[in-house]
């Protein structure tokens, strides 16, 4: 560690059984069964070991995690949370994960649900609707949601819904872990001024006995080692592919002894702004006019016959119909996403590609529809169908879509 920064190479770390402090047998089994993972990435190992050691000693200490998309940040913070809470006696809200979008909330919930299998821990998701692990349903406008939050252990929420929960002053008083996923994006927006409200409400000083829902009686209900011990802090974890470099955005979080984990630093100890995998191929295609842009895109995707110029471009980009089975196209707005998706549907309906394989993914469609699309793409596997997803920036950060052959920035990223 140098100046509070831990640089971790992008490589495999220890097998699960070798991590110290030790991860419980139940959690290790859930990681292997739920994710097919037997060995952690070095970054995951470093963060998990750091958090487990602090938990073991009962010491405060916050984590700022900066690692590329797809490097396993969710498991890096989820494993310590489940490891700490797995033996809780009374169900109380002790861990909150804040995410910027409903779709990412659902994805994080799926990870948590797999990790808590075989325990009594309850995981819930609060976005437009409240979705606990065990099929109970609480609607977003129901005031009973605030009370219902107290019956879960881990809550994944968007900032707006989390602020709603704070209508009950004691809603977050037992919180021990506060995770801000995609923290760079959330801290730059700070809608509803949620940061200050959450920090003020989270984690008052709670004794071990009180947190367990029991009293420390004179007859020795608890051992002297536990009597009077306190967890009087909230461990905060910030996770993002890119972390803010503006200290003013971090001040409201009141970080305690923060340690920054990053997958790469330069020789002078400064993190590079960008890190790209060596296998990534990047190319740009210039068009002469705006009217040519959608037609060129359709040609590159094999939705229409190409002229000589388009054949040359298609060959260079290796976008032969047989080699590209999944594609994501990013747009700058919800309106342009819908417009392009509809245009490609019309073109594909007249060509060899079936129109139902053009999928629109934006906030204009229902959360259930987006969940169905994400599941369909994730489970596509070895199927021969071609899937083209036209997306707004709702998909741009944090979403896990496996086996994507091609990503197209149709509009310049902003």
**Are both 324 and 226 inside the same structural domain?**
no
Query: 110, 399 in Cβ contact below 8 A?
Result: no
Indicate the number of domains in the chain: 2
Question: Residue 357: is it exposed, middle or buried by C-beta count within 10 angstroms (0-12/13-18/19+)?
Answer: middle
What does the pLDDT read at residue 300? 80
Tell me if the pTM is above 0.85. no
**Are both 184 and 59 inside the same structural domain?**
yes
For residue range 344-394, list pLDDT tens digits in order: 988 887 765 554 588 898 878 887 788 788 777 766 655 556 788 899 876
CA-closest candidate to residue 33, choices 94, 95, 113: 113
What does the pLDDT read at residue 213? 52
What does the pLDDT read at residue 226? 41
**Are both 217 and 360 inside the same structural domain?**
no
Q: Which helix (H) or strand (E) holds 341?
A: helix 334-349
Mean pLDDT of the chain: 78
Over range 270-284, report the average pLDDT: 68
Does 99 fall in a domain?
yes
The domain boundary, picked from 240, 262, 284, lies at 262
**Per-residue buried b or exposed e for 55-69, using 16+ beta carbons within 10 Å of the residue's own CB:** beeeeebbbbbbbbe
Does 277 fall in a domain?
no
Which of these ranges, 9-13, 93-97, 290-294, 332-336, has the smallest mean pLDDT? 9-13
> Over 88-139, what HEC string results?
CCCCCCCEEEECCCHHHHHHHHHHHHHHCCCCCCCEEEECCEEEECCCCCEE
For residue range 116-166, list pLDDT tens digits in order: 999 999 999 987 544 454 433 344 444 555 557 778 999 999 998 898 888
**Are both 114 and 243 inside the same structural domain?**
yes
**Are both 358 and 243 inside the same structural domain?**
no
> Which CATH number belongs to the domain containing residue 332 in this structure?
3.40.50.300
Give CA–CA dist 30/115, Å, rounded: 5
Residue 114: domain span: 5-262
Q: Which helix (H) or strand (E) holds 201?
A: helix 194-201
For residue range 35-51, list pLDDT tens digits in order: 999 999 999 999 999 99
């Amino acid at each position: 560690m140098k100046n509070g920064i831990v640089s971790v190479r992008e490589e495999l770390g220890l097998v699960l059984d070798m991590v110290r402090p030790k991860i419980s047998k139940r959690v290790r089994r859930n990681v292997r069964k739920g994710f097919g993972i037997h060995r952690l990435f070095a970054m995951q190992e470093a963060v998990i070991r750091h958090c487990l050691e602090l938990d073991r000693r009962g010491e405060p200490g916050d984590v700022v995690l900066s690692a590329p998309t797809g490097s396993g940040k969710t498991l890096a913070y989820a494993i310590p949370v489940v490891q700490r809470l797995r033996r809780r006696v009374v169900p109380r809200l002790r861990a909150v994960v804040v995410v910027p979008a409903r779709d990412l909330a659902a994805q994080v919930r799926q990870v948590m649900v797999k990790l808590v299998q075989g325990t009594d821990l309850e995981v819930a998701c609060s976005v437009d609707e409240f979705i606990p692990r065990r099929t109970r349903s609480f609607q977003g406008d129901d005031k009973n949601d605030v009370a219902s939050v107290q019956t879960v252990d881990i809550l994944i929420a968007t900032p707006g819904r989390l602020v709603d929960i704070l209508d009950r002053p004691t809603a977050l008083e037992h919180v021990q872990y506060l995770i801000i996923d995609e923290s760079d994006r959330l801290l730059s927006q700070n809608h509803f001024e949620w940061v200050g409200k959450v920090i003020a409400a989270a984690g008052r000083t709670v004794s071990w006995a009180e947190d367990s829902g029991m009293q420390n009686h004179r007859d020795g209900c608890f051992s002297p080692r536990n009597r009077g011990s306190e967890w009087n802090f909230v461990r905060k974890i910030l996770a993002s592919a890119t972390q803010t470099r503006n200290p003013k955005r971090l001040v409201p979080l009141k970080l305690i002894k923060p340690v920054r984990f990053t997958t790469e630093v330069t020789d002078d100890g400064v993190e590079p702004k960008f890190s790209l995998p060596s296998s990534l191929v990047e190319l740009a295609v210039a068009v002469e006019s705006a009217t040519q842009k959608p037609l060129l895109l359709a040609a590159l995707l094999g939705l229409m016959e190409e002229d000589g110029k388009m054949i040359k471009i298609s060959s260079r980009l290796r976008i032969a119909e047989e080699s590209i089975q999944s594609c994501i196209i990013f747009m700058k707005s919800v309106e342009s996403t819908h417009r392009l998706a509809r245009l490609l549907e019309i073109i594909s309906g007249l060509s060899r590609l079936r129109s139902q394989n053009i999928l629109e993914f934006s906030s204009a469609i229902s959360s259930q529809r987006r969940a169905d699309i994400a599941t369909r793409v994730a489970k596509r596997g070895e199927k021969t169908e071609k899937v083209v997803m036209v997306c707004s920036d709702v998909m741009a950060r944090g979403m896990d879509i496996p086996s994507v052959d091609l990503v197209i920035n149709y509009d310049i990223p902003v």
